[in-house]
Chain A
Amino acid sequence: MPADQPRLKMLGICKSYPAVVANSDVDLTVMPGEIHAVLGENGAGKSTLMKIIYGVTRPDAGEMLWDGRQVRVRSPAAARKLGIGMVFQHFALFETLTVAENISLALDERVTPALLGPRIRSVSEAYGLPVDPNRHVHGLSVGERQRVEIVRCLLQSPRLLIMDEPTSVLTPQAVLKLFESLRRLAAEGCSILYISHKLDEIQALCGKATVLRAGRVSGCVDPRRETSRSLAEMMIGKELPTCHMAPRAPGEVRLAIRKLTLSAADPYGTDLQNINLELRSGEVVGIAGVSGNGQQELLKALSGEVPLTTPAAVQLEGRDAGLLNAAERRGLGLCFVPEERLGRGAVPDLSLADNALLTGYVPESGMGMVRNGLIQASAVREFARRVIDRFNVKCGDETSHAGSLSGGNLQKYIVGRETLLTPKVMVVAQPTWGVDVGASMLIRQAIIDLRDQGVAVLVVSEELDELFMMSDRIAVLADGRLSRAVPIAEASVDQIGLWMSGNFDADAIVADQGAGNHA
C-alpha cells in the first residue's frame, strides 16, 4: 500500500431528511496517522457525516473509499470490522454494570469480563487513560466514562477513531490529558476524526480541518495556519459576533441559597451538600462544572420543581421560598430557562403562542394573559409576537408549533419569553447548548442586558468560555458541593478547572461565608 494512500476518502456524500439537507456533495479525506478536525456549527451536518461513516445512516448518494477500496458500510458492526471506532457524545453505558462488563457487552467478539480485565488495564495504561475494569459505571465521573468508551474502541485496535465533541464533558485539565492520549494514538498510525465547534482546541490538536457550513464543505485547511477569525468565518460565513459587558456595581441580594442540602430523587443523581450563594441585583453569577455534578438537582431546587423541606434554604427577595412551589416562586419574580427545551421549557405540540402562556400566565408578570380563569387569546398572541420580533426568532408565526423550530430558535424564544416577563431573578441553564454561534451571542447579550437592567442572573453552564465571557462572579459545582463565587477578574481557568474535578482547596471553601459580602 503506498504511503500517500488515504485511509478514508468520502466523495460527493449527499443526505437529506424531510425538512433539511444535512450533507450536500461533501468530500473528506483522512490520511493515516492524521488528526483531522471536522468543524462546523450545530446543524452543519457533522454528526450526519460521522453517522454515515460509522454505518448508522446510509447516504442518499456518494462513495466511501477505505484504503483505496470502495466500500459500503451497512451497519456499525460492519464499520468496526473495517477498523472504525466511534466515541459518541452521549455514552451508552449500563450504570449498574462494571467497566469490564460494559466493554464485554459492546465488543463484537465474545470475551468474558474476567478475561478482559488485564487487556483493559494494559491498553488504558499504554495510552494514559487509567480506568479500573472492576469498578461500577455509576460511580464513575463523566470523564472516566468517556475513557471507558475510548478504551472500548481501542481494544478493537481501530485504524480510524471518530470522536464526537469529546471535550464538552471534560475539565480543562482533563482535556489536555485527552489530547496527549490522542497524539500518542495518532503517532502509532491511527487516524482520528475529531468533531468540534471549539476553535482553540482544533488549533491545538489537529493538523487538518474540514469545515462544514449548512451541509456543504466550506473549506479544508491547516488550522494551525489559520486564525480563529478566519476559521469562524469559514464556519458561520461571517465574522464572529461578540457580546459586550460593561462593569457594574451589584445591588441588593435578590436570591439567597443558605445551607441547601438535598438528597437526589434519582438513585444515580447527585446529592447537594450545604450549598450557599448570594445573588445580587445587577450581577451575573456563573456556575461552572461538568454536568452530572448536581446541576439538575440544584436547578430544580431553585425553580421549585422539587419541593424543599426547609423554608430558608432558598430565599427570594428576602422571603423564605423553600416551601413554595414553582408557580409561587414565579409569582415572586423568578424566571427560569431550563436546559431541556422540548418537553420542559416548551411543549413541542403546542403553538408558540400557547407556549407563551406556559409561564406568562403568572398574574404578577402583568401580562393579563388569564382573566377570571379564561385565556385572553389576543394578549397571549401579542406577547408571543413581541418575543418573536425582539429576539429575531425564525419561524412561520406565533401559530407555528414549538417542535418545528430549530434548537437555536426555540432557545431564543424561551429566553425571550422569560426575559420579557420582567423577572427579578433569572436562572438560566446551559443557555447556548446546541445553539449556533450567531444565536449564542444574541442570547448571551440578552442575558447581559437583563443584568444591566438590574436583574439578578444565575447562569449554569458547561462551557467555561461562555461563563468567563458573561459572568461577574464564577463558582464551581462539583460532587454536589458549590465553591465560593470568585470575582471574574481574580478567577483563572486553571483554578476553576481544578475545582471542577472536585479538588476543592482551602480557598474554595473557607471563604464561603464571606462570598456574598465582597461587593
Chain B
Amino acid sequence: MLRLEARPAPSRAMMFASPLIAAAAMLLTGSLLFSFLGQEPLHAFYVYFIKPASTAYGVGELLLKATPLILCGVGLALGFRASVWNIGADGQLTIGAIAGGCVALYFREVDAAWVLPLMLVAGALGGMAWAAIPALLRTRYNTNEILVSLMLVYVAYLLLSYLVHGPLRDPHGFNFPQSRMFQEAALLPLLVEGLRTNVAFILSLVLTAGAWFFCSRSFIGYRMQVSGMAPAAAAYAGFSEKRNVWLAFLISGATAGLAGVGEVAGPIGQLQPSVSPGYGFAAIIVAYVGRLHPLGVLLASLLMSLLYIGGESAQMELQIPSAITGLFQGLLLFYLLAADLFIHYRFKPAMPVLHAVPTTD
C-alpha cells in the first residue's frame, strides 16, 4: 500500500506544479462530467475555455471580470497571510459600491474630474468601515471573525436592497428597484474603445504591484506574515496581535470596497439590488489558488474569470446548467488543496519485505 511520509524540506517544484496539477485534474473531472451530460468533451472545453478568449472583445470581458477578483483577492491574500480570516469581502464590496454610488448620486449634477476619485475613496472607506466591525469585535471581545464577517455580508446585501427599493430608487425608473444611471463623470473611463475593460483593471495591477512590494519589502508586511505563521513568535518579538487583525481587515476591506466601486462605476453604471455575483467569495479561492502571493492572485483571477465567462458561454451554447461554474470553482479548490499535500509530503517507497516471523497484535 502507498504511504505518505513527510519531506525533509517543503518541495519548491511541487509548490509551482500543484496549481497546474489541480487545473489538469479539474479538466479531467470536467471532461467526465461533460460526457455524462451528453456533450463531446473536447467541444465543450473549446466552448468553455477557449472560445471566450478567442476574440478581442472576449479578452476585454475576461479582464473586466478579473478586475474585482484581483482587487478582492489581493486584499484577502494579505489578510490570510496574517491568519486573519475575512470571509466577508462580498459584504465589504457591497458597502463600497453603496458608498461610491452615494457619492455619484449626490453629485449627479457635477461634471468634474474629482467625482470619480472621490467615489473611489468613499468606496475604500466604506469597505474599511464594514471590515472594521469584525476587527473591533475580534480585538475587543474575541469573537470569531469568520462568523462575524460572513454574517455581515448578508446585512450588506439587505442594506443595498433596501436602498435601491427605497431612498435611492430612480424616480423616473418605472419603480424598478435600481438607482439613477450615473453621469458620465462618475463612470470609469474605458481603456480601449469597443471593449468594456476600464481603468479599474489598471488600478488592480497597480495595487497588485503595491501588495507585492508590501509583502516582500515592508516591515509591516513582515510583521503580518510572522503573526500568521507563528503567533507565539510574534508575541515574543513584540508584534501586536490587535494591530495585525486591524491591518488585515482594513486592507482587505479597502480593496473590496474599491472593487465595489469598480463594478457600479464600470459595467453596471448604477446601483442595483445585487452588484456582485459573489466576487468576494470567489476571491477566497483566488487567494489560495494564487498561493496568497499577489502575482499568483493576478493569474488565479484570470483563471477564475475564465471559469465565470466560460460558464456563461457553455450555458448559452450547450444548454448546460449555470451551476457548472460553481462546480468548476469547487473542483479547482478541492484539487488544489489535495495537490498541496505533496508540497510537504511524498509517497514512501515500498517497504522491503521482512522475513516471516510470528507476530503479536
Contact = CB atoms under 8 A, between A and B. Distances in A.
B9 A404 contact: yes
A36 interface: no
A176 to B, nearest CB: 37
B8 interface: yes
Given A327-B237, A347-B233, A361 B219 contact: yes
Interface in B214-238: 217-220, 222, 225-226, 229-230, 232-233, 235-238
Nearest to A14: B352
A304 B7 CA distance: 36
Interface stretch (B127-135, B307-315, B353-361): B353-361
Contacts of A349: 10, 229
B352 A82 contact: no
B238 A348 contact: no
Contact of A344 (B9, B230, B352): B230
B340 to A, nearest CB: 14
A75 B351 contact: no
B338 interface: no
Interface string A160-202: 0000000000000000000000000000000000000000000
A375 B217 contact: yes
B6 interface: yes
Contacts of B232: 340, 343-344
B144 interface: no
A18 B237 contact: no
Nearest to B6: A18
A375 B216 CA distance: 8
B219 A370 contact: yes
Contact of B239 (A18, A78, A327, A348): A327
A425 B336 CA distance: 48
A19 B226 CA distance: 26
Contacts of A377: 217
Contacts of A18: 5-8
A78 B357 contact: no
A401 B9 contact: yes
Contact of B359 (A61, A71, A305): A71
A330 B238 contact: yes
B8 A404 contact: yes
B235 A326 contact: yes
Interface in A304-361: 304-305, 325-330, 336, 338, 340, 343-350, 354, 357-359, 361
Contacts of B229: 347-350
Interface in A72-130: 72-75, 78, 81-82
B240 interface: yes
Contacts of A330: 238
Nearest to B7: A18
Contacts of A327: 237-239
Interface in B330-361: 351-352, 354, 357-361
A63 interface: yes
B219 A375 contact: yes
Contacts of B361: 74-75, 78
A284 to B, nearest CB: 22
Contact of A72 (B10, B222, B237, B357): B357
A327 B6 CA distance: 36
Given A305-B236, A373-B219, A71 B357 contact: yes
B215 to A, nearest CB: 11
Nearest to B357: A70
Nearest to A336: B236
Contacts of B238: 304, 325-330
Contacts of B220: 373
A374 B219 contact: yes
Residues of A contacting B: mostly: mixed
Interface string A126-152: 000000000000000000000000000
Question: Could you say which interface size class chain A belongs to?
Answer: 35 or more
Contacts of B217: 374-375, 377
Given A340-B232, A345-B236, A374-B218, A81 B360 contact: yes
Nearest to B223: A361
A303 B235 CA distance: 10
A72 B8 contact: no
Contacts of B351: 60
Contacts of A359: 236-237
A349 B360 CA distance: 41
Most buried by B among A75, A305, A328, A348: A305
A434 B357 CA distance: 37
Nearest to B239: A327
Contacts of A305: 235-236
Contacts of B240: 325
B142 to A, nearest CB: 13
Contacts of B226: 347, 350, 358
Contacts of A74: 359-361
Contacts of B239: 327
A338 B232 CA distance: 10
Interface in B96-111: none
Nearest to A82: B360
A358 B229 CA distance: 12
Given A326-B235, A340-B232, A358-B226, A71 B358 contact: yes
Most buried by A among B220, B233, B359: B233
Contacts of B233: 343-347, 358
Nearest to A348: B230
Return the 8 tightest CB-CB contacts between A and B, nearest first: A327-B238, A326-B238, A19-B8, A344-B232, A78-B360, A347-B230, A72-B359, A18-B8
Given A328-B238, A329-B238, 5 more contacts: A61-B352, A325-B240, A350-B226, A359-B237, A404-B9
Interface of A: 17-19, 60-61, 63, 69-75, 78, 81-82, 303-305, 325-330, 336, 338, 340, 343-350, 354, 357-359, 361, 370, 373-375, 377, 401, 404
Interface of B: 5-10, 217-220, 222, 225-226, 229-230, 232-233, 235-240, 351-352, 354, 357-361
21 contacts: A17-B5, A18-B6, A61-B354, A63-B357, A71-B357, A72-B358, A74-B360, A78-B360, A82-B360, A325-B238, A326-B235, A326-B236, A330-B238, A343-B230, A347-B230, A347-B233, A349-B229, A350-B229, A358-B236, A375-B222, A401-B9
